[in-house]
Amino acid sequence: MFRIKQWIKMLLQNILLPLLYNFYRRRPVEKGLVLFADAHHTELPFSMRRMYEILRGQETGSLYQVHDSSADVPEANIADRCDSEAHNTENSGVCTSNSQNSGAENCRTSIKIEQYVTDFDSLSFGAMAKYLLLFMRRYAVAEYVFICDYFLPVASCRKRPETKVVQLWHSCGLTKKIAYDTGEDIPKGYRGNMFDNYAYLTMSAEVCVPVHERALRLSRDHIFATGISRTDYYFDEKWNRQCRENFLRRHPEAAGRKIALWAPTFRGNAAMPRLEGLDAVRHVAEKLKDEWYFIIKAHPHIDRLEMVANSPIPTEELLPVADVLITDYSSVLFDYLLYRRPVILFAPDLNEYESARGFYIDYQSIPYPHAGTEEELHAALTDMEKELQTDPTHTDGELRTALADTGEKVRDIQTGIPAGAEGVGAGHEMMKEKDRSVAAGPEPGQKAVQRNPEAKKNSRRGWYESHRDEIDRFRETYVGACDGHATERILELIGLS
C-alpha cells in the first residue's frame, strides 16, 4: 500500500499538477493574494500561526486591508466564498490616517489571505484531488505562498517568478540529519528538487544556513537567519500566561507538583514511525508521581497510529508550563532553550539512531544531562528536583515561565548577526568576507562540537550552575536569531512590512 501511494504521488507530482499549474497561470498574478498551505494538519499549523495573525492585523493593528477567505479545504470551495471585488486586487491599496500627523496618510498594500490546510493522510483520493485542484488554481496566480514543512504541490512545477514561496520551517537548530542528507525523508524514486521553488527559507541561526543549503540542495541566496516565526510566541507573556491557565483548567491534578514534559521524536519515516522509551518513562513517572506530574506528548506521526499522549494540549503550548523537558533528538529542544529551563536528554537507542540516521552535531556534547536507561532517567530527575528546590527562581506549587531577555537586540535581516559597530545591514557583507569556518557548521557526517571530557566528570547535581556559560553559548549558536521579532524581520525581508 505504501508503494502504491508513492506511485500515485509521483504521477500527480510529475504529470497532473504541472498541467494544472500551467493551465491556470495564463491569468495574471493577483497582487496581494497570500496563501497558507499545509498537507499534514487539519488546522493551521503552529509554525504558521504567528505570521497569519500578524498579516490579519491581530497582533500589530490594521497594517493591511485583509480579505480573509480562509476555509478548510477541500470541504469548502474557496473561490465560491470570494466576491469579485476581493479577487480583483491587482491595483488596489488602502490608506489609513496617521493620527500623529494630520493630513498625512500611510498607504499599505491590500492583501487577501486564503488557507489551504488539510491532512492528506485523512483524505480520500477524491477529496485530495479536489484539494490539489483548488490549490494549484490559486498557486498559479498567488503573489505569496507560506508553508512550514515538506509540501510537494509547491515543488510540482516550475513556478512563475512573480510568486514568492516562503518556507517558515517547522524546527530550530540542528540535530538529526534531514532531507537529502538521509534516506528516510525523501522517497528514493522522487524526481526533481522538492525545495527548488523556495524564494525564502527562514532559519533560527546563521549556523543552520550552510547545513540546510546542502541538505535541501538550495542556494544560500534563498536561506536567511531571520529567526523562526513561531518562536515569537515564546516571548509573548500574554500567550504564556494563557497556556499556563489552560493547562491548570485541563489538568487540575498537576497543581503543587513539578511538571515534566516528555516530547520525543519518531523513528523511521512518516508512513512507518516508531517510538522508543515509552515503558521506561511510564515507570519513572509512577515512581516519582508524588513530586512530578508527567506529560507524555509523542510526535503526531506516532499518535496517529497509536495514541500514547496523555494530554490534548499541543506540545508548543506545554513548553511554558514544563519545569523540565525530557526529549531525545527532537528539535523541540531548541524551542525550549528560549525558556532557559532544564532539559534531560533521554536517548535509549542513541548508538542505533546515530548509525541509521546520523547527526549534524556531536549529540553527546549537547550541554545537558544525558540518560540512556530507566535508572539513569530516574536519577537525573531526582537530582533535578533537588536543584529546582535550591533555585530561587522556582517556587513550589507555582507554574513558571522564564522568558529570555529580548532587550533591544537587532539582527541583520540577511544573516541574523547582532548589529553592532558595523551597523544593521553590514552583517551580510561581513559574513561574505570573513572566514566561515565557525558559522558554516559541519559537513554531513562530521561533528560540529567537540566532546568535553570534563563534562562527564561533573555530577548532575548543580548541573545548570556549573554549565551555565556552555548552555548560553549553545543557545546563542543554534537559536540566536530567535528574539521575539522574527516575524517582523521575515515580513521586511519578503516585502510585506
Per residue, the 3-state secondary structure of the chain, as one string, reads CHHHHHHHHHHHHHHHHHHHHHHHCCCCCCCCEEEEEECECCCCCHHHHHHHHHHCCCCCCCCCEEEECCCCCCCCCHHHHCCHHHHCCCCCEEEEECCCCCCCEEEEEEEEEEEEECEHHHCCHHHHHHHHHHHHHHHCCCCEEEECCCCHHHHCCCCCCCCEEEECCCCCCCCECCHHHCCCCCCCCCCCCCCCCEEEEECCCCCHHHHHHHHCCCCHHHEECCCCHHHHHHHCHHHHHHHHHHHHHHCHHHCCCEEEEECCCCEECCCCEECCCHHHHHHHHHHCCCCEEEEECCCHHHHHHCCCCCCCCCHHHCCCCCCEEEECCCCHHHHHHCCCCCEEEECCCHHHHHHHCCECCCHHHCCCCEECCHHHHHHHHHHHHHHHHCCCCCCCCCCCCCCCCCCCCCECCCCCCECCCCCCCCHHHHHHHCCCCCCCCCCCCCCCCCCCCCHHHCCCCCHHHHCHHHHHHHHHHHHCCCCCCHHHHHHHHHCCC
* Grid cell for residue 164: 514568492
Whether 153 and 37 have beta carbons less than 8 Å apart is answered as yes
Neighbours of 109 (CB within 10 A): 16
> Residues with Cβ < 8 Å from 456, sequence gap 6 or more?
none
| Phi and psi torsions of 119, nearest 5° | -115, 110
pLDDT at 77: 36
- Closest residue by Cα to residue 210 from 28, 437, 27: 437
Whole-number Å distance between alpha carbons of 103 and 471: 52
Whether 337 and 480 have beta carbons less than 8 Å apart is answered as no
* Grid cell for residue 332: 523541540
Cis geometry, peptide bond prior to residue 74 (ω within 30 degrees of 0): yes
For the chain, which ranges sit under pLDDT 50? Answer: 58-63, 65, 71-108, 392-461
Whole-number Å distance between alpha carbons of 292 and 287: 9
Whether 87 and 81 have beta carbons less than 8 Å apart is answered as no
pLDDT at 224: 97
* pTM > 0.75: yes
pLDDT at 48: 97
pLDDT at 190: 63
Whether 35 and 5 have beta carbons less than 8 Å apart is answered as no
Let me know the angle formed at the C-alpha of 154 by 150 and 160, rounded to the nearest 5 degrees. Answer: 145
pLDDT at 497: 79
pLDDT at 449: 40
* SS3 per-residue string spanning 389-403: HCCCCCCCCCCCCCC
pLDDT at 265: 82
pLDDT, one tens digit per residue, over 143-168 is 999 999 989 899 999 999 999 999 99
Cβ-based burial of 261 (10 A; exposed 0-12, middle 13-18, buried ≥19): buried
pLDDT at 384: 80
| Phi and psi torsions of 138, nearest 5° | -85, -35
pLDDT at 416: 40
Phi-psi region of 449 (alpha: psi -120 to 50; beta: other; left: phi over 0): beta
pLDDT at 83: 35
- Closest residue by Cα to residue 296 from 335, 325, 323, 268: 325
